[in-house]
Amino acid sequence: MPVEIFVGDDHVLGDVLDRVAAELGKEGHTVVRGPAAPAPARTEYPRAQWPRYFGRAEVAVISSRTVITPELMSWAPRLRGLVFASSSTASCDLREASERGIVVAHGATPENMEGMAEATVMLLSALMLDLPLKQRQLARHEPRPAPQALTARLLAGSTVGLVGHGRIAREVIARLAGWRVARVLVATRHPGRHRSAPPVEFTDLDTLLARSDAVSLHLPLTADTRGVIGAAELDRMKPGAVLVNTSRGGLVDEAALAERLATGRLRAAAIDTFETEPVPADHPLRGLDNVILTEHIVGHTRDLFDSLVPTAVEHVRAVLAGQRPRYPADPGVRTDRARNVPQAR
């Protein structure tokens, strides 16, 4: 049965949301569109606009840059599902949604996981092999370094530390198996939830930092994880180690990282996500030679974006049918507790 569905906008995923809206319209649903705030601001609809956008909406299709407050979830009388076209659901409190009987699904497609895993291994190898330094030497017409002056090391035989053990981290581990790394250390608060094949060793964060030649972050940004790699943690890393963050901005103290890269305390870093996006022109990491910087796009592929549209449409269908979404943001979601929707307003 056709219903009313709200579809937002986004300065990154606008094309995806446009295509989702078109597909839902073809299925006979009434699609209400909402604008996006200009980058880098997140979109938060004022209360005066709630009746227009959410007064009759049974599902809202949005991105992680659209804020859905607990107050909005409580107010929206018919809302029973939030479908994120993005993999992140950071702009919504999942516990609050669950308590209100609202199912949340997201774009955690295989193409998303695989693209980020491939990008992470690429960056780990590039940093270990001193790619930023070698590019700089060519660009500046510098002479080839003498063999004894090389600092590049093989990823093979090294120790790689992964902070977090979610789906992307596990895809990284699977790919590292072919690189003959000596060991993979994993720091997670739930080591018993997922078991990986050897040579994975679960340990605490301090041990991981002290023993790893390369560290990669794979955490969501929450109140508990914000600043998880601060000045003290950077100083616990092995001298000359490298750091990769393709996860979330805000996990790393970027000023402290820039200082340790500038002094040579750490050899190199690859950063794809930043505290502030777009990255300011005067950001301290921009002026360094031993960094690879990309703007929240390193693992993005055409395959990924093509997967998000049918996935979001499928999620909407599942929510309306009272079925479990293919990719629930809360793995323990129970569709039998979903919000009862009034027949008329």
Chain-centre distance of CA 116, in angstroms?
Answer: 9
Determine the average pLDDT of the residues in 105-123: 97
DSSP 84: E
**HSE-up (13 A, CA, CB side) for residue 301:** 15
172: left (phi over 0), alpha (psi -120 to 50) or beta: alpha
Helix axes 167-176, 110-128, angle to 10 degrees: 50
Q: Which pTM was predicted?
A: 0.87
Measured between alpha carbons, how far is 140 from 267 in angstroms, rounded to an integer?
20
Please give the backbone phi and psi of residue 116, each rounded to the nearest 5 degrees, phi first. -70, -35
Under the banding of pLDDT at 50, 70 and 90, the label for residue 335 is: low
pLDDT of residue 195 exceeding 90: no
Number of H helices, E strands in the chain: 11, 12
Residue 125, classed as helix, strand or coil, is helix
Please give the backbone phi and psi of residue 119, each rounded to the nearest 5 degrees, phi first. -65, -40
Measured between alpha carbons, how far is 276 from 260 in angstroms, rounded to an integer?
20
User: CA torsion 218→222→227→228, rounded to 10°?
Assistant: -50
pLDDT number for residue 343: 39
Measured between alpha carbons, how far is 181 from 337 in angstroms, rounded to an integer?
46
Q: What is the mean pLDDT of the chain?
A: 93
Q: Which two tokens stand for residue 23?
A: 């597909």
Measured between alpha carbons, how far is 323 from 316 in angstroms, rounded to an integer?
10
Longest dimension (CA), the chain: 78
As annotated, the active-site residues are: 248, 277, 296
Sequence length of the chain is 345
Q: Return all residues near 266 (Cβ < 8 A) that are at least 6 apart.
A: 234, 237, 239, 240, 241, 242, 243, 257, 260
pLDDT number for residue 197: 57
pLDDT of residue 212 exceeding 80: yes
Under the banding of pLDDT at 50, 70 and 90, the label for residue 277 is: confident
Tens digits of residue pLDDT in 164-185: 999 999 999 999 999 999 999 9
pLDDT number for residue 199: 75
pLDDT number for residue 198: 58
pLDDT number for residue 194: 59
- Give me the residues paired with residue 28 across strands: none
Using only C-alpha atoms, what is the Rg of the chain? Answer: 22
Under the banding of pLDDT at 50, 70 and 90, the label for residue 345 is: very low
pLDDT number for residue 39: 83
Residues of the chain with pLDDT > 90, as a percent, come to: 86
E strands, 34-175, where? Answer: 57-62, 81-84, 103-105, 159-163
Under the banding of pLDDT at 50, 70 and 90, the label for residue 190 is: confident
pLDDT number for residue 338: 62
pLDDT number for residue 326: 95
Determine the average pLDDT of the residues in 227-236: 98
Determine the average pLDDT of the residues in 258-287: 95
User: 114: closest CA among 124, 105, 104, 122?
Assistant: 122
